[in-house]
Amino acid sequence: MDQTSHTHKRDISYSSDEGHPWEEAARFDNEVYQSAPVKTPALAWGEFLYGKPLNWYWKVIVWPMFILLVAEIGLRVMHTRYFPTASSQLMEWLIGGIRLGVFSYLTISGIKQFLAFKRQILAAAVLSGLLAGIILAIFQLFWYFELWVIFNLLGQPLLLAFEGLIVSWLICLFFGKNLKIKQ
């Protein structure tokens, strides 16, 4: 069998091949699409939250949440031990102010220090609220030892996650241009 009579389908040339640009583009597209498949890089463990690993989120939230936990637990202990006559509503306002300050600090430091995008900061605020809420709910379970704190095991983390999300979102909304936040 003669090798010249047996041609491959890619080697066939047609009589209408007069160098039209659309035929050149079609030939180029065929070469591109018939090349090796493009491999997308595999995500490392924990990179399911906007392309950052959980270790990165831990670095962003560890100090602000430590400050929040120490301040809030400290205020609750001081209120029941040393200032029992102080208004409970005053202590709740102080705790709310501390939460506002800590979540603001978390947002600004995440943008400035860790160069986070808006969605990454919002995810970090929600994660930090959930973690701090769980720890605070467990503390309140042993500190108050009343029936309502059992329901607080679910409510406290969700409340703090929501507060963190709202505070971070408002800071990104109003001060995003000044902070040079990336969308």
Residue 6, domain member (yes or no)? no
Looking at the domain assignment, is residue 106 inside a domain? yes
Domains identified in the chain, total number: 1
Whether 111 maps to a domain, the answer reads yes
The mean pLDDT value of the chain amounts to 82
Per-residue model confidence (pLDDT) at position 52? 83
Residue 61 belongs to a domain:
yes
Please indicate, yes or no, if residue 153 is contained in any of the structural domains: yes
Rounded to whole angstroms, the Cα distance separating 51 from 165 reads 19
- Asked whether residue 40 is domain-assigned, the answer is no
pLDDT tens for each residue of 149-178: 888 899 999 999 999 999 999 999 988 877
Question: Is residue 149 situated within a structural domain?
Answer: yes
Residue in the structure block whose two tokens are 């949440």: 65
List the structure tokens of 134.
């769980």
Question: Look-up: residue for tokens 């208004």?
Answer: 87
| Pairs from 141-145 (Cβ < 8 Å, separation ≥ 24) | 143/76, 143/77, 143/80
DSSP 83-126: -TTS-HHHHHHHHHHHHHHHHHHHHHHHHHTT--BHHHHHHHHH
Q: What is the pLDDT along the chain (183 residues), one digit of tens a residue?
A: 555 555 555 655 555 555 555 556 566 555 555 555 555 555 555 566 777 888 889 999 999 999 999 999 999 999 988 988 989 899 999 999 999 999 999 999 999 998 888 999 999 999 999 999 999 999 988 888 888 888 889 999 999 999 999 999 999 998 887 777 776
Domain containing 106: what range? 54-179
